[in-house]
Structure 1
Amino acid sequence: MTDRLYIDVHILQTVPPANLNRDDNGNPKEAYFGGKRRSRVSSQAWKRATRMHFAETHDPQDLATRTKRISARLAEGITSRTAVTAEDAQRIADALIKSTGISAGKKEGDTAYLLFYGRRQLDGIVDLVADTATDLAALDAKGLDEAVKALPVKEQLQSGHPADVALFGRMVADIPSLNVDAATQVAHAISTHAAELEFDYYTAVDDENSADETGAGMIGTIGFNSATLYRYATVGLHQLRDNLGDDKAAIDAVDLFVDSFARSMPTGYGNSFAHRTRPSLVAVVIRTDQPVNLVSAYENAVPARHGIVAESARRLATEFSTATDQWGDEPLYVGICHTLGADTDEIGQQLAKAFGANRTFAALRDGLRASLTERVNGN
């Protein structure tokens, strides 16, 4: 497959009072759009939530981790596979990481930056020294550095990427050969309507107060807002195929992303607000020209009255239909799952005209997979 193929994901999701993603003052992040203040959740926050959701359906060992402590994790792997001491395993691990050119951090054993790598990739590095670890441990520092120089340590990090590294990419500024171009772009989620910051003033009572003691043991405030959010992401299947080297693995990764992106939620102040909801609408579109974010549907803020999510859905349908008609870029596949009424209702009819008949989320994913499979097989 050499042609470009983009999978756009459009989501409308209503969130009750919450502080999903806070700024430097501890308040929910915001943005001005169309001259109105909007609730905002950063792309980084939702990408992390999506990655964390991957582990709910996949063995974490088949996924990636992002950490400065790669040397410590490598030492643990060496210790578990060989007879060397923990101290010698750490020496070997440090030498292996040093051989790649990855910059050391200020704290002993840390790298200078977070490194995103697959756990299986780290297992591959352990394999390189599993049979010779005892001999390596007997060398002095200079001898150990020389001994591991010839090992293909960097190559282990350049291939066999797990789905999350292939989707979200990796950047190592001082070693471009370790970079992985991201196949996924995620937009900052914003409210379709104007949103105002509010504050919850709370108190906590000391349970051990005596009968004559009054007043709160703790007083504080938490900023919050509530919003119907428009969320958008796009996946380039062609880039995903290049990163993974296999068509089926790429299609599996798209399905994994769509499932987890739709189901995930940032956890900020989760215990305080219990804000977990499911989307009211998920639409997927396969395109061959370019990704298309439909946020312009909300440049004029939806009025704050009854039916914000329904009006947001209507505008999304109109924006999609108008853009498709005006630009003439008929998508390869369009599918929708929503909870906004039957296809015989007014809103259901508008959504069906734009995105096709309503279906379950499982059927939406099945249709997406079938369409992608047909395309990559050249049918």
Structure 2
Amino acid sequence: MNTYVDLHIIQNLPPSCVNRDDSGSPKSAFYGGVRRLRVSSQSWKRATRLYFNELLDASDVGIRTKRVVELLANKIADEATDLADSAPTLAEEVFKAAKIKLSPPRGKKDAPQESGYLLFLSTSQVARLAGLAIAAARSGEKVDAKEVKKIFKEAHAVDVSLFGRMVADDTDLNVDAACQVAHAISTHAAENEYDFFTAVDDAKSRTEEEDAGAGMMGTVEFSSATMYRYATVNCDLLAENLGNTDAALRALEVFVKGFCLSMPTGKQNTFANRTVPEAIVVSVRDDQPVSLVGAFEQPVRTDEIHGYLGRSIEALAEHARAVENTYGLRPLASFVVSLKDSDAVASLGERVSFADLSGRLRETVAARVANEEQA
């Protein structure tokens, strides 16, 4: 039976524009009949992946790029300086052996060829592919296609194992994502606003009559809201992708920390919008992932005394109880990190500090895995 870990986060997002659409407006969505502020799952997954760089060794993370030939060629040249001139050709042969189509980048015919889509590779896989290419070049033989595919299927990085990999040219090289991340939405109705700004030209004299001091003016669109964020991890699939349970438990700890503390960086210099979650609920389940977004189908409302944060947590707790009582979908364990105490917080699970959260989660999942192995 599978083990799932669900993360539910209530987080305040002050005036900001962390995730824009093609017109520069903060992304939004209609839900429950009203417009909500939205931050896409892709945006927060990338923020989480970048946070991994602070928590993991370079060998445990991946790189997602079209410039796979250049990436591999540089690694070949670093490992074998005598093959530097032929490195791009050797790199091309490796990806052709994997049946990954390559083409010159648009408008740059002399540049190394690229894949037609972003390819997600572990840094350890790049190193092994470079070693394979070097060995083939020095032996005068072609790169073994079976060995190339074998490398693609082994030693996946933490982020590749969590978020998956799609290879359009050969689905056999795909990696199923062990983690799913929802689009974050505001728990209440939220509208965009506009900030009119002027940038002062320091070199202009204040005595100039025309546009004195103004070198630029314009508007920036922004919004603010209390957000509900949700993600779920299939621990069994994560262990399968990484090759062992210990690696999966470590990856789970890193993901929880990275997902909770990361923030998309859009317009961050303008708004300095870094916040931490007001409340985090982490549930271990053996039935199925359960999003609690239904708590906010009816938009949370506020008044002069009560803000959105407290009422959002109350709505989350009430909906969680309703799901458990109606469907019998009760977590095996739940841990709660909260900046404030309340009856709603207490009802959501065992109260822990954020510093202890990953450890308590690891203990719970590890004990469950051990019981499954003994059975």
Does residue 354 in structure 1 map to residue 348 in structure 2?
A: yes
SS in 2 for 1:130: helix
Instruction: Note the alpha carbon deviations across 1:267-323, whole angstroms, 9 max, x for none.
Output: 000000000000000001111111111011111111143321000001111111121
Match of 2:183 in 1: 188
Q: Letter of the aligned partner of 1:326 in structure 2?
A: T
Q: Is the 8 A contact 1:128 1:151 kept in 2?
A: no
Determine whether 1:18 maps to 2:16: yes
SS in 2 for 1:84: helix
Quick check: 2:281–2:348 contact (8 Å CA) kept in 1?
no
- The equivalent residue for 1:374 is 367
Code of the residue aligned with 1:263 in structure 2: it is L
**Distance in 1 between the 2:206 and 2:240 partners?**
70
**Match of residue 27 from structure 2:** 29
Residue type matched to 2:318 in 1? T
| TM alignment of 1:190-269, pairs within 5 A | 190-213=185-208, 214-269=212-267
Name the CA distance, whole Å, in 2 between partners of 1:134 and 1:84. 10
Secondary structure at the aligned position of 1:55 is classed as helix
Matches within 5 A, 1:221-370: 221-305=219-303, 306-341=306-341, 348-356=342-350, 358-370=351-363
State the match for 2:90 in structure 1: 92
Question: What SS does the corresponding residue of 1:285 show, helix, strand or coil?
Answer: strand
Q: 1:57 to 1:373 in 2, by over 3 A?
A: same
Q: For the residues of structure 2 that align with 1:133 and 1:267, how far apart are their CA atoms?
A: 43
Q: Equivalent residue for 2:158?
A: 163
Q: Give the 3-state SS of the residue equivalent to 1:164 in structure 2.
A: helix
**Which residues of 2 match residues 118-133 of structure 1 at below 5 A?**
118-133=122-137
Q: How many residues align?
A: 361
- In structure 2, what residue type is equivalent to 1:44? Q
Distance 2:166 2:145 in 1: 24
Match for residue 51 of structure 2?
Answer: 53
Please say if 1:179 is aligned against 2:179. no
Which 5+ residue runs of structure 2 have no aligned equivalent? 106-111
Taking structure 2 as the reference length, what is the TM-score of the superposition? 0.93
5+ residue gaps, structure 1, are 137-145, 342-347
Deviation at residue 215 of structure 1 after TM alignment: 4.8
- Name the aligned partner's letter for residue 47 of structure 1: K
- Return the alpha-carbon distance in structure 1 between the equivalents of residues 74 and 26 of structure 2: 39
Q: Is the 8 A contact 1:317 1:355 kept in 2?
A: no
Contact 1:82 1:133 in 2 (8 A): no
Looking at structure 2, the residues matched to 76 and 162 of structure 1 have their Cα atoms a distance apart, in angstroms, of 20
Normalized against structure 1, the TM-score is what? 0.92
Partners of 1:31 and 1:286 in 2: how far apart?
Answer: 29
Q: Counterparts of 1:117 and 1:32 in 2: how far apart (Å)? A: 36
What letter corresponds to residue 98 of structure 1 in structure 2?
K
The RMSD of aligned alpha carbons is: 1.5
Percent identity reads 44
Q: Which amino acid aligns with 1:363?
A: D
Q: Amino acid of the residue matched to residue 284 of structure 1? A: V
CA–CA distance in 1 between the matches of 2:64 and 2:364?
A: 33
Q: Distance in 2 between matches of 1:55 and 1:241?
A: 21
> Residue 109 of structure 2 aligns with which residue?
none
Residue equivalent to 2:116: 112
1:85, CA displacement in angstroms?
4.7
Deviation at 1:210, TM superposition (A): 2.6
2:335–2:357 Cα contact (<8 Å) kept: yes
